């Protein structure tokens, strides 16, 4: 920070306080702080900050230039310019009465969502939203109150069909690439899910926190500042929320038209209550009002990550259990409830469901056994082995059947060597079970040999197989529409969509205007004729710079905005020390045109 010049520090402070992460034009910066910064100063500050990588300049398709803080810097610069919303807002633990409402946490809720996709399935309607029964089941499992997210003002696809808690999780799964919309159901990206499950829990939580701030930071500068203050809080330390709000108000952060009380409440409704609902924050009460602290990442001890297997087939799972192990429990056990600590119960139906999905019985038993800190009770293990051995003794299968109308055709098919590999078995006199992988091969061979296949036979089965594999939309169902870029929550921050300006003009046009002026005006304070002072003022207005002026015996810096004739004389209107001022020509003494090169 010490390397920044005065004009750079001044410009950066104005950007941070007034615009936050929002894009702006140089003229807007000048208008936001009338008299505190000239247009030339604003352009010069932006030019230098851009060279340092602190500010980015982009150009819209129609030529308009916009500026904004480079991504990822806002919270740090807020901490520099607004230290009052940091450490001074901390509270002693003894002064806070926590609201003990244990939450499952965003990471665990996302795991529940993904496990439901894998083990139960989430169907999609013709319009691409969740089937009603699936949405209701998921909402019950997620158990995040809609009221807690009432202040989170967001817009998203299928807003009339999906509750906000479910939409938030669905959006995260899409943005992380863990799921995709299939033709008739939501599909997992198995490779990405496996990689996600293998990450350490603190890494998963850190990624989700970063995603939250990226997706839900709005264009509202007041809420941007509130969010930045929360991000900078030391995890595990309590902070007085009203002190944070008062610090922002005292610094002059725009409230977006809210009263002071409304601004304080907005921080709670938009940020704190939703963050607490998803386990990112905890709330409490003090004599000063609301207190909040950001939750610290779990300190995972590898020796303390196992679960406790009970004789009644229940598994008690601590919060530190690895997600990979939880994933297997989601497949073979029923979730029985919990918050910080979860309970699962293995039933015969849940065990057979896992075996039916293709899991190996011995590998599944090893997951349960290796994760149990004190082993699996013998009767439980014996029952699991018995269920595994009995499973599949009888099998119901869907098969493709080739049916002949007469015995002559059936006899030919049975005796034809080129077709034998296409059949699994010959049933009775007229029917054959077709090997599923050979359906199309058989259909083509029969057509070449002169047989006419009726619709609904092998060709239709091949088409049906394509539908089952998700290669085509099911008959009567339109393909589900793709989600918006990345997810379903609409972002209102779109400055990054415009390309970086490779050669912004900066101060060049203003310097060219000044170069045409008499250089004596720039070198030193001098006494000029009133008409010359008027020309000097008009040049300053044209170059958007300021004038050093002796007025009534004192030296001031005037940012002129307009020169107006008054009879044979004139007046100049502008700003002195940030206040509106009108100066008569007769009051002007020595003058100098200022260029803040060395500021």
For residue 526, give the DSSP letter. Answer: B
- State pLDDT tens for residues 247-274: 999 999 999 999 999 999 999 999 999 9
The DSSP string of 161-224 is: TS-HHHHHHHHHHHHTTSEEE-SSBEEE-HHHHHHHHTS-HHHHHHHHHHHHHHHH--S-HHHH
Contact 381, 365 (CB under 8 A): yes
pLDDT above 70 coverage of the chain, percent: 92
Contact 47, 78 (CB under 8 A): no
Sheet holding 308-309, edge to edge: 308-309, 314-317, 342-345, 334-338
- State pLDDT tens for residues 368-384: 998 898 899 999 999 99
Pairing of strands 289-294, 238-240: antiparallel
CA distance 266 to 272: 9
Is the predicted pLDDT of residue 241 greater than 60, yes or no? yes
561 pLDDT band, cuts 50/70/90, is very high
| Reduced 3-state DSSP string for 234-257 | CCCCEEEHHHHHHHHHHCCCCCCC
pLDDT the model gives residue 475 = 36
Is the predicted pLDDT of residue 141 greater than 80, yes or no? yes
- Which two three-digit tokens encode residue 451? 């047989």
Helix (H) or strand (E) holding 369: helix 361-371
179 pLDDT band, cuts 50/70/90, is very high
- Whole-angstrom CA distances from 239 to 245, 267, 275, 568 are 11, 13, 15, 63
Average pLDDT over all residues of the chain: 89
Is the predicted pLDDT of residue 425 greater than 80, yes or no? yes
* Least confident segment among 53-57, 262-266, 391-395: 391-395
Is the predicted pLDDT of residue 16 greater than 90, yes or no? yes
pLDDT the model gives residue 80 = 94
301 pLDDT band, cuts 50/70/90, is low
Q: What angle do CA 510, 512, 513 make, to 5 degrees?
A: 65
pLDDT the model gives residue 272 = 97
pLDDT the model gives residue 492 = 74
CA distance 544 to 29: 13
Mean pLDDT across 347-359: 91
Contact 584, 569 (CB under 8 A): yes
pLDDT the model gives residue 32 = 87
CA distance 86 to 105: 25
Number of H helices and E strands in the chain, helices first, is 23, 21
Is the predicted pLDDT of residue 487 greater than 60, yes or no? yes
Helix (H) or strand (E) holding 90: strand 90-91
Residues 6 or more apart in contact with residue 517 via CB below 8 angstroms: 536, 539, 543, 593
pLDDT the model gives residue 474 = 39
More confident residue, 306 or 163: 163
337 Rama class: left (phi>0) / alpha (psi -120 to 50) / beta: left
291 φ/ψ angles, rounded to the nearest 5 degrees: -120, 155
Beta bridge partners of 186: 181
Sheet holding 554-566, edge to edge: 579-584, 569-576, 554-566, 547-551, 588-593
pLDDT the model gives residue 117 = 94
Is the predicted pLDDT of residue 139 greater than 70, yes or no? yes
**Cβ atoms < 10 Å from Cβ of 563:** 18
153 pLDDT band, cuts 50/70/90, is very high
292 Rama class: left (phi>0) / alpha (psi -120 to 50) / beta: beta
């Amino acid at each position: 920070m010490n390397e920044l010049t005065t004009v750079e520090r001044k410009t950066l402070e104005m950007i941070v306080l007034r615009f936050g992460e929002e894009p702006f034009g140089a003229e807007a910066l000048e208008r936001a702080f009338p008299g505190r910064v000239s247009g030339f100063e604003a352009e010069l500050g932006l030019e230098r900050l851009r060279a340092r990588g602190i500010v980015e300049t982009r150009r819209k398709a129609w030529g308009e230039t916009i500026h904004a803080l480079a991504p990822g810097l806002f919270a740090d610069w807020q901490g520099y310019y607004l230290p009052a919303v940091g450490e001074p807002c901390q509270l002693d633990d003894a002064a806070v009465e926590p609201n003990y409402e244990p939450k499952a946490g965003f990471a665990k809720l996302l795991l529940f969502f993904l496990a439901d996709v894998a083990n139960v399935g989430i169907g999609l309607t013709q319009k691409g939203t969740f089937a009603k029964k699936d949405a209701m089941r998921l909402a019950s499992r997620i158990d995040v109150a809609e009221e807690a997210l009432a202040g989170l003002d967001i817009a998203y696809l299928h807003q009339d069909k999906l509750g906000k808690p479910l939409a938030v999780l669905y959006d995260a799964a899409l943005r992380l690439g863990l799921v995709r919309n299939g033709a008739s159901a939501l599909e997992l990206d198995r490779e990405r899910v496996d990689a996600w499950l293998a990450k350490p829990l603190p890494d998963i939580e850190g990624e989700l926190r970063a995603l939250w701030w990226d997706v839900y930071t709005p264009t509202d500068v007041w809420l941007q500042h509130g969010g930045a203050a929360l991000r900078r809080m030391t995890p595990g330390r309590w902070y007085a929320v009203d002190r944070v709000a008062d610090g922002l108000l005292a610094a002059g952060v725009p409230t977006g038209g809210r009263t002071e009380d409304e601004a304080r409440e907005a921080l709670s409704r938009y940020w704190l209550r939703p963050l607490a609902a998803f386990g990112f924050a905890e709330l409490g009460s003090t004599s000063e009002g609301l207190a909040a602290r950001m939750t610290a990442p779990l300190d995972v001890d590898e020796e303390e990550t196992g679960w406790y297997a009970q004789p009644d087939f229940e598994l008690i799972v601590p919060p530190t259990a690895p997600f990979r192990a939880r994933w297997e429990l989601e497949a073979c056990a029923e979730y029985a409830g919990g918050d910080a600590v979860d309970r699962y119960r293995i039933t015969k139906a849940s065990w057979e469901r896992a075996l039916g999905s293709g899991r190996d019985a011995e590998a599944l038993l090893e997951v349960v056994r290796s994760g149990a800190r004190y082993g699996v009770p013998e009767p439980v293990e014996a029952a699991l082995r018995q269920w595994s051995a009995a499973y599949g003794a009888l099998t119901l299968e869907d098969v493709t059947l080739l049916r002949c109308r007469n015995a002559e055709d059936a006899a030919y098919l049975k005796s034809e060597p080129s077709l034998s590999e296409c059949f699994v078995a010959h049933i009775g006199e007229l029917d054959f079970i077709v090997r599923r992988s050979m359906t199309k091969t058989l259909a083509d061979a029969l057509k070449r040999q002169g047989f006419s296949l009726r619709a609904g036979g092998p060709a239709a089965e091949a088409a049906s197989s394509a539908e089952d594999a998700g290669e085509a939309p099911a008959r009567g169902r339109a393909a589900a529409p793709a989600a918006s870029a990345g997810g379903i929550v609409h972002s209102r921050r779109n400055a990054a969509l415009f390309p970086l300006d490779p050669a912004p003009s900066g101060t060049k046009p203003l310097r060219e205007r000044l170069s045409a002026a008499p250089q004596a005006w720039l070198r030193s304070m001098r006494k000029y004729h009133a008409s010359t002072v008027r020309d000097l003022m008009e040049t300053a207005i044209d170059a958007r710079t300021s004038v050093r002026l002796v007025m009534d015996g004192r030296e001031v810096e005037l940012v002129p905005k307009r020169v107006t004739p008054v009879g044979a004389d004139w007046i100049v209107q502008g700003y002195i020390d940030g206040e509106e001022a009108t100066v008569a020509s007769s009051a002007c003494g020595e003058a100098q045109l200022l260029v803040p090169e060395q500021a």
